[in-house]
């Protein structure tokens, strides 16, 4: 009987609550590159809301800020450094 009761009891593991990625004092703005760059992948894509752990309103503001920064060329639309290196090396061989 005691064994069956144990199955239904919750485990009392302690867990550390994660801090929200955007503090209350942070302004979500296209000029705040330190904040915006945390929500972009290595390829230059905007990370999803689940990955960022943001609220819907914060995710919308981040998306707008990233798009504004891209238009003003503060951020690249794509991050193709590897592709650029490959095309650069092939261009050298063809000119020689």
pLDDT tens digits along 42-57: 999 999 999 999 999 9
Average pLDDT value for the chain = 80
Which superfamily does 33-72 belong to? Ribosomal protein S18 (4.10.640.10)
Domain boundaries, the chain: 33-72
pTM attached to this predicted model? 0.64
pLDDT computed for residue 80 by the predictor: 74
DSSP secondary structure string, the chain? -HHHHHHHSPP----PPPPPSS-TT----TT-HHHHGGGB-TTSPBPPHHHHT--HHHHHHHHHHHHHHHHTTSS-S---HHHHHHHHHHHHHHH-
């Amino acid at each position: 009987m005691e064994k069956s009761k144990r199955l239904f009891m919750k485990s009392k593991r302690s867990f550390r609550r994660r801090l929200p990625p955007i503090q209350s004092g942070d302004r979500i703005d296209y000029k705040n590159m330190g904040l915006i760059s945390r929500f972009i992948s290595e390829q230059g894509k905007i990370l999803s809301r689940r990955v960022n752990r943001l609220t819907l309103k914060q995710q919308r503001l981040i998306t707008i800020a990233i798009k504004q920064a891209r238009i003003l060329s503060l951020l690249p639309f794509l991050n193709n450094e590897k592709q650029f290196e490959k095309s650069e090396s092939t261009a050298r061989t063809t000119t020689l």
